[in-house]
Structure 1
Amino acid sequence: MAFTGLTPRHDWSREEIADLYTQPLDSLMGLALSVKSANWADGKVQKSQLLSIKTGGCAEDCGYCSQSAHFDTGLKAEKLMPLEDVVSAAREAKAGGADRFCMGAAWRNLKERDVPKIAAMISAVKAEGLETCVTAGMLEPQQAVALKEAGLDYYNHNLDTSREYYTSVVSTRTYEDRLDTLAHCREAGLNLCVGGILGMGEGRDDRIGLIHELSKLTPHPESVPINMLVPIKGTPLGESPPVSVIEMARAIAVCRIVFPKSWVRLSAGREAMSEEGQALCMLAGANSIFVGDRLLTTDNPGETRDEALLGAMGFEHASREETAKPTQAPKRKQTLIDAG
């Protein structure tokens, strides 16, 4: 099949994605870089920052999460942060080079009484000149509309893993519940931030299945975060063996090819990666990272380490407008040859 990497496809078969995923790594990364160069500025990395605005006490039983009320992880449940504290954190994030500010609340679903409070946070962060993203569990259609009217740019609601493996990770909501929330967000006009987590005991076929599920969303998610599991003591997945950085790079490269116009973000897990491992994932096609010392409840490399990494690679952080500026398409057409 002919393939240029310029036009997103929504007819990917699981077999086609598997053929991509299992290519020799040099061939896979070469194709991913060709697609990236056709759609994104070279040597540019967008920075986002994530803040937990409501920590702990979540009614969900996601097996990877320190914030679940089902597990004893030593994390205390806290109330929703005051608006002024959120704005202060957003200003610090902007000063550190982030141009997207993500706010996460540990809720199973957004309650009506909290919609005005979240909307006020969105409006205030937008007023600071930042792009906004929120993750607050499942949404009803009218809630998605209210957040959009407040100025929300992105809603994050990860699929986590394949449809088949999902029940091994979460039992308190279904895959269809997640897809319903994504549909409500699309109907409200929101951009989507949707990805998954590697290293939860799933197999390679589940990683392929996750990417296939994401590829069926129309349009594709504008942002695709790929996370490496950060094992949390006290959670069911706290003793999971680590996934290899090479496997992370494979998944990122396939996402870059399947989602040519989407941000592919190297997300959680960077703290445990070497500088070389992070560089490999960026060379595979990731063009966005989370910055700051913390994500929601786990550590993240700080500004000094990030600047050292980007400097060693000859990369620079840039605004979303600069990063997303298309470059010239490759001079020669890439062709994928069906396996077998």
Structure 2
Amino acid sequence: MNKIIAILTVVKLQEAHSKRTVISALRDKVIEGGRINKDEASGLTAAHGTALFELLAAANSIRDHFRGDTIDLCSILNARAGGCSEDCAFCAQSSISAAPIGRYPLKPPAIVKKAAIEAGNHKSKRFCVVTGGRAVSDKDVGKLAAMVSAIKEAGLLPCATLGFIEGEQLDALIDAGLNRYHHNLETSPAFFPEICTTHSFNDKLRTIETVKAAGCSLCSGGIFGMGEQWADRLDMAFLLRDLEVDSVPVNFLTPIEGTKMGGKPTLDPLEALKIIAIYRFILPDKEIRICGGRLQTLGQLNSLIFMAGADGLLIGNYLTTMGRAEADDLNLIDTLGLRYS
């Protein structure tokens, strides 16, 4: 019996060593300028136990090589809430949501500027105005341009999340100082119909094409834990690579009572860290920014996000959920010996 146990132990050690070797080889391939393919990325999803922590360490090495020790911080403001016509299953502001949320029209530029100044005091480099709804009207664009100018006056880089947008509308915002436009894919093309039926994945791609054609920096990522499979996560990652996005927000579903996904469990925290790490392998030179659902999903493992390959962070509160105290996030960055951008 002891001999059998010894043989099994050797086999397990050999398997673990093989996984570590594969992870190390892929890490070196990426650092040397190569790209991993979908089959290689799929192999990384099987990492668990000791191999998972090796995966995190390898992702950290890739982050350090391509992105250095600087963390890009951003904050957001819900500049208009409620009244959305879309049926996104995860969103408290969607047309099918019964979640109790505040509803209000566009906030005045002075309020936006005050919030941007406060964000800057907490080391945020970027400040993003967000509006609920499918798209903005031409009438709204003038007011939003004034917000963009106010953010720029506050000394931060202005960003915007305004849903679908036309080229002329975007040009007006860029003229006012807009630095980056955020428009999530949310998930893979195959899984998207499971989370929204009032617009299509191709609608999203058209908006992304509009942003790229305007020469504006693009922020696009998605939400994890909505019921998607690893194949969906990888499909989105490789599409983001093909689209050459600048920043990739990684959100984890926060189940909100009253939404279609209100009863879903949160992701396992190690699964969440594995997502971050594999995205770093696929998108080695891009900003990978951890956003909504971070604390609800990761809990005490929140401190490992940068060691898993992230180099960006949304600090403060989110749209309809609470975030972490800014001072706690800044203390984490300082403790890890990292810097603010």
TM range (shorter): 0.7 to 0.9
Give the equivalent residue in structure 2 for 1:254: 278
- Code of the residue aligned with 2:231 in structure 1: it is D
SS of the residue corresponding to residue 102 of structure 1 reads: strand
Contact 2:125–2:156 at 8 Å: present in 1 too?
yes
Give the equivalent residue in structure 2 for 1:244: 268
From 145, 152, 156, the equivalent of 2:182 is 156
SS of the residue corresponding to residue 240 of structure 2 reads: helix
Judged with a 3 Å threshold, the aligned counterparts in structure 2 of structure 1 residues 272 and 138 are, in CA distance, closer, same or farther, namely same
Give the equivalent residue in structure 1 for 2:259: 235
Percent of paired sites with the same residue: 34
Structure of greater relative contact order (alpha carbons < 8 Å, 6+ residues apart) = 1
Contact 1:8–1:261 at 8 Å: present in 2 too?
no
| Mapped partners of 2:258, 2:44: distance in 1 | 36
From 52, 55, 60, the equivalent of 1:33 is 60
Match runs of 1:22-101 below 5 Å: 22-23=46-47, 24-42=51-69, 44-101=70-127
Contact 2:222–2:250 at 8 Å: present in 1 too?
yes
Give the equivalent residue in structure 2 for 1:310: 333
SS of the residue corresponding to residue 283 of structure 1 reads: coil
Normalising by structure 2, we get a TM-score of 0.86
State the 1:4 CA deviation. Answer: 3.5
Gaps of 5+ in 2: 1-25
Give the equivalent residue in structure 1 for 2:290: 266
1:280 and 2:304 matched: yes
| Mapped partners of 1:39, 1:249: distance in 2 | 19
- Code of the residue aligned with 1:289 in structure 2: it is L
Give the equivalent residue in structure 1 for 2:19: none
| Mapped partners of 2:34, 2:124: distance in 1 | 27
Larger-gyration structure (1/2): 2
Gaps of 5+ in 1: 320-340
Deviations 1:310-335 (CA, angstroms, capped at 9, x unpaired): 34x4234412xxxxxxxxxxxxxxxx
Contact 2:268–2:297 at 8 Å: present in 1 too?
no
Contact 1:91–1:128 at 8 Å: present in 2 too?
yes
- Code of the residue aligned with 1:268 in structure 2: it is G
Contact 2:267–2:297 at 8 Å: present in 1 too?
no
Give the equivalent residue in structure 1 for 2:322: 299
1:289 and 2:316 matched: no
Judged with a 3 Å threshold, the aligned counterparts in structure 2 of structure 1 residues 6 and 158 are, in CA distance, closer, same or farther, namely farther
| Mapped partners of 2:161, 2:123: distance in 1 | 21
- Equivalent pairs, count: 312
- Code of the residue aligned with 1:77 in structure 2: it is R
Contact 1:57–1:69 at 8 Å: present in 2 too?
yes
- Code of the residue aligned with 1:38 in structure 2: it is H
- Code of the residue aligned with 1:212 in structure 2: it is F
Match runs of 1:300-339 below 5 Å: 300-311=323-334, 313-319=335-341
Contact 1:6–1:39 at 8 Å: present in 2 too?
no
| Mapped partners of 1:175, 1:233: distance in 2 | 26
| Mapped partners of 1:315, 1:265: distance in 2 | 18
Match runs of 1:93-112 below 5 Å: 93-112=119-138
Give the structure with the larger helix fraction.
Answer: 2
| Mapped partners of 1:19, 1:307: distance in 2 | 35
SS of the residue corresponding to residue 99 of structure 2 reads: coil
Deviations 1:280-310 (CA, angstroms, capped at 9, x unpaired): 2221111111112x11111000123324433
| Mapped partners of 2:202, 2:154: distance in 1 | 35
| Mapped partners of 2:168, 2:153: distance in 1 | 23
State the 1:96 CA deviation. Answer: 1.3
1:128 and 2:154 matched: yes
State the 1:18 CA deviation. Answer: 1.6
- Code of the residue aligned with 2:217 in structure 1: it is N
SS of the residue corresponding to residue 49 of structure 1 reads: strand
Deviations 1:88-120 (CA, angstroms, capped at 9, x unpaired): 101111111111101110020121111111111
1:185 and 2:207 matched: no
| Mapped partners of 1:230, 1:151: distance in 2 | 32
| Mapped partners of 2:43, 2:175: distance in 1 | 42
| Mapped partners of 1:7, 1:82: distance in 2 | 47
| Mapped partners of 2:299, 2:329: distance in 1 | 9
Judged with a 3 Å threshold, the aligned counterparts in structure 2 of structure 1 residues 87 and 210 are, in CA distance, closer, same or farther, namely same
Match runs of 1:1-16 below 5 Å: 3-5=29-31, 7=33, 13-16=37-40
Judged with a 3 Å threshold, the aligned counterparts in structure 2 of structure 1 residues 112 and 203 are, in CA distance, closer, same or farther, namely same
